[in-house]
Amino acid sequence: MKKRAFPSAISIDFAPDRRRLLGVLAASSVAASLPAAVRAAPVDDAVAELQHDWEVIRYQTPAAERQKRFEALAGKARKASESFPGRPEPLVWEGIIVSSWAGEKGGLGALGLVKQAKALYESAIAINGDVLDGSAYNSLGVLYYKVPGWPVGFGDKAKANELLQKALSINPKGIDPNYFYGEYLVETKQPDQAVAYLERAIQAAPRPGRQISDAGRREEARALLQKAKAK
């Protein structure tokens, strides 16, 4: 079997001979009684901190240190999700961080973490899937095309396509949905169709406060574009 790349170029090694394979609905009565603007600022700050910590680990930390760093960050993300019940944003980022931890962990033991990330994304979507520019749909879609299918995992290329298209409909010019749909097309042997999405990812407008992620993703998009054009 092959190993496959996971979201954000994460890799999960489900078997020795595979290539590297790289989210509560009701808010508490206390939180619900607060004005929306008062509730929003703390959760936005928490999410921004998780984003920054994740991108530093993902793009600026030596590979040998990433697993432990992502494991610790997953604990921090869990506390954020528990601190803001009913808010989907921390759930999305907890899912991304858990997926990243799984990618660095590797092996069949990582499949439990991947299933945990899937549940987090689904919980976020049940609250409001449009938040964070549809990132929950995008990240869940990536899991569906990267994880092996039955009986090992829940992978499903058709479901992946549906979720990735949903993310693109919410954020059609975004760097991440275009990059990952391009990657999906490459991995499903449609490299010619992938070119336009990868070029759109490279040309996407910068995201405020996401300079590290944007730079890393563009580099990944350029490399994948070259690969798509060579096929």
Same domain membership, residue 33 and residue 121: yes
The predicted pLDDT at position 40 comes to 54
Element (H, E) at 140: helix 131-146
> Which token pair is 203?
């040309």
Structural domains of the chain, count: 2
Are 41 and 148 contained in the same domain? yes
User: Model-level pTM greater than 0.85?
Assistant: no
> Is there a contact between 109 and 81 (Cβ–Cβ < 8 Å)?
no
- Structural domain harbouring 75: 4-171
What are the angstrom distances between the C-alpha of 45 and each of 51, 64, 89, 139, 142? 10, 29, 11, 21, 26
pLDDT in tens, 122-181: 999 999 999 999 999 999 999 999 998 888 889 999 999 999 999 999 999 999 999 999
Strand partners, 11: 5
Residues facing residue 10 across a β-bridge:
6
148 and 201 part of one domain: no
Same domain, 78 and 32: yes
45-79: string of b/e by CB count within 10 Å (b at 16+)?
ebbeebbebbbebbbeeeeeebbebbbebbeebee
User: Which tokens hold the place of 110?
Assistant: 């990582």
Q: Count the Cβ atoms, other than its own, within 10 Å of residue 123.
A: 19
Q: What is the mean pLDDT of residues 198-222?
A: 96
Q: Are residues 108 and 96 in the same domain?
A: yes
pLDDT in tens, 33-74: 334 433 457 899 999 999 999 999 999 999 999 999 999 999
Q: For tokens 């993310």, name the residue.
A: 167
78 and 102 in a single domain? The answer is yes
Domain endpoint, select from 147, 171, 195:
171
Residues 131 and 89 in one domain: yes
Residues 16 and 61 in one domain: yes
